[in-house]
A and B are shown apart, each in its own frame.
Chain A
Amino acid sequence: MSDPEPAWRAPSPRLLTMRRVQVGVCGVGVAVALFALLVSATVTGAVVAAAAALVAVLVAQIFVARRVRAWGYAEREDDLFVKRGVLFSRLSVIPYGRMQFVDITAGPVERLFGLATVRMHTAAAASDARIPGLESGEAARVRDRLTELGEAQAAGL
């Protein structure tokens, strides 16, 4: 790349915790449900199924960590870089001048962990850049900075 390698920033480490907990809770739920369903038929079968579900949760944790680690964003002079994805790795470049609006969303689970997602919208429907798992303060900072830069460099359609 002709520009110097940008300084990548990562989402909050709490994002990993959140994703781990989300996957863990789902997996344990499945394990309990399997056990409850099968226990009346075969006790061994129920134990094996529940154990398999728990092992799957542990394996999934590895992939969760890789996926979370793949997220990154870099604020450059004229544009924002966002990278994501392990299997399909994507790198989006959004010029500040093209941003129509920026919004912050925080779902109930995210709020529990004090996190928020920043979304950038351009006039193109295909550019769907977002940065998940930012701490609330950082999310507000990113939003304000993007809005400010967007106003300064705004370009028409």
Chain B
Amino acid sequence: MSEQYGWRRLHPLSPVVRAGRATIAIFIVLVPTLLSGGRNLSSDYFQLGAVAVLAGLGFVSWLVTRWRIDGDDLRIETGVLRRQSLRFPLAQVQAIDIVRPGLARMFRVAELRLRMGGASGGTARLAYLNEHEVEPLRAQLLALAHGGEEAEARAVEAPERLLVQVPTPRLIASILVSDVGMLAELVLVGLAIGAVLAPGAARGIVSGGAAELVAVATLVWRRFNQEYRFSLAQTDDGLRLHGGLVALNTETIRPGRVQAVRMVEPFLWRRLGWCRIEVDLAGRQRRKGELLEHVVPGAPQPVLGAPRRVLFKSPLRFRYLAWGRSDTVVVTQTGRIRRVTVWVPLQKVQSLRRVEGPVQRALSLATVHLDTAGRALHAALRDRDRGEADEALGDLVRLARAARRAPT
């Protein structure tokens, strides 16, 4: 047992993979120079020297980086000039990700990321590890996070129960009608029309706006790449999210670590019954765009609409403003064009605020905010009748207190 927990190094190819695109760029620069056969010796030597220095630095960074599991902590030591010794208490792990960019897949390595809770909300990165040791390590870390005594028994991967998988045609369709997709289509259509009517001008736009075109294409591609074959599964370790085309991603969210859930329904998607669910954790903000069918977690529906006079204050939001609650969960809904619904477990509420602005005072309205430790999502009972807001605040304070005390 103890030798298994000794200091370990990362995969020797880590610096190469971490340099990622830079590595590819170096090859692109180097190969023609080498093939053209040393016409300009001094610049060749200079380039080779630069590459050698970079490789040396990468090797040194690999050499000085080591990690180990030490009781309930993950410890990472790194750095030459600024030596760092990092300790990550496993009990505070919110989620564990396995990330495999394209280059990493080529070299059969993977990155393990531990997302931590707490005020600083850091991320522990082990980049990169051998592909086949990553999954057992994740299982082991999750087991340790649950409590040391289970560690031995739980070192095996927990079985998965698939909840949702997004079929590729739907992914493509959803991107086509999303904001980014529409932008790309508009650009394309514009260019097509331009090419027919005024070929010269279109050519000018393409050459002049090449950077913008590339940027739009990158956005579309990134979304497709990240969400390709996305699936959500339930395991004993928590929720497991898979996805990716070139870069593979696996996230494991520990149960009871979800601070808030948000459902976003852009205008066109709502017509098709699609939505995106985002899960917020304590710690570093990391929103994960997910396409799910109209899946709503077993939670209350936003049933209480806003009073009519809110039309004067927020005419666009009015039709979506609503909230609802059960004894453990609050749901709020807002949005102007797209509809945004947020669920917050009362157990996770950090503080409550009631705010009344001058316009709201004139209409005798008030807003109640629910603050959670997550960074990305926010729930607010916006523009409620003042009496209702006061009553809701009282009830929610009481329910949140009860939820905090209840055993998890």
When the two chains form their complex, are residues B397 and A93 in contact, meaning their CB atoms are under 8 A apart?
A: yes
Compute how far the CA of A115 lies from the CA of B85 in the bound complex, rounded to whole angstroms.
Answer: 41
Residues on A with beta carbons closer than 8 Å to the beta carbon of B75:
none
Across the A-B interface, the 10 shortest Cβ-Cβ residue pairs: A127-B351, A123-B373, A124-B371, A124-B350, A1-B394, A122-B350, A126-B371, A93-B352, A91-B354, A2-B394
Q: CB within 8 Å of B: which residues of A? A: 1-3, 78-79, 87-95, 97-98, 100, 121-127, 129, 155, 157
Q: How many residues of B contact A (CB 8 A)?
A: 34
Chain A minimum-CB-distance residue to B360: A88
Compute how far the CA of A125 lies from the CA of B401 in the bound complex, rounded to whole angstroms.
Answer: 20
Q: Does B309 contact A (CB under 8 A)?
A: no
Residues on B with beta carbons closer than 8 Å to the beta carbon of A125:
371, 375
Minimum Cβ distance to chain B for residue A93 (Å): 4
Compute how far the CA of A105 lies from the CA of B282 in the bound complex, rounded to whole angstroms.
Answer: 27
Compute how far the CA of A123 lies from the CA of B349 in the bound complex, rounded to whole angstroms.
Answer: 10
The listed residue (B119, B351, B357, B394) touching A88 by CB distance below 8 A is B357
When the two chains form their complex, are residues B356 and A95 in contact, meaning their CB atoms are under 8 A apart?
A: no
Can you sample 30 A-B contacts with CB below 8 Å?
A1-B391, A1-B393, A2-B391, A87-B357, A88-B356, A88-B357, A89-B361, A90-B356, A93-B351, A93-B352, A93-B393, A94-B350, A95-B351, A97-B404, A122-B350, A122-B351, A123-B282, A123-B350, A124-B350, A124-B371, A125-B371, A125-B375, A127-B350, A127-B371, A155-B404, A157-B92, A157-B257, A157-B259, A157-B282, A157-B348
Compute how far the CA of A121 lies from the CA of B352 in the bound complex, rounded to whole angstroms.
Answer: 13
Residues on B with beta carbons closer than 8 Å to the beta carbon of A155:
404
Minimum Cβ distance to chain B for residue A48 (Å): 32
Compute how far the CA of A31 lies from the CA of B354 in the bound complex, rounded to whole angstroms.
Answer: 39
When the two chains form their complex, are residues A124 and B351 in contact, meaning their CB atoms are under 8 A apart?
A: yes
Q: CB within 8 Å of A: which residues of B? A: 92, 117-119, 257, 259, 282, 348, 350-358, 361, 369, 371-373, 375, 378, 390-391, 393-395, 397-398, 400-401, 404
Chain A minimum-CB-distance residue to B259: A157
Compute how far the CA of A92 lies from the CA of B395 in the bound complex, rounded to whole angstroms.
Answer: 14
Knowing A3-B398, A126-B369, the reply to whether A98 touches B391 (Cβ < 8 A) is no
When the two chains form their complex, are residues A127 and B394 in contact, meaning their CB atoms are under 8 A apart?
A: no
The listed residue (B371, B378, B393) touching A91 by CB distance below 8 A is B393
Residues on A with beta carbons closer than 8 Å to the beta carbon of B355:
88-91
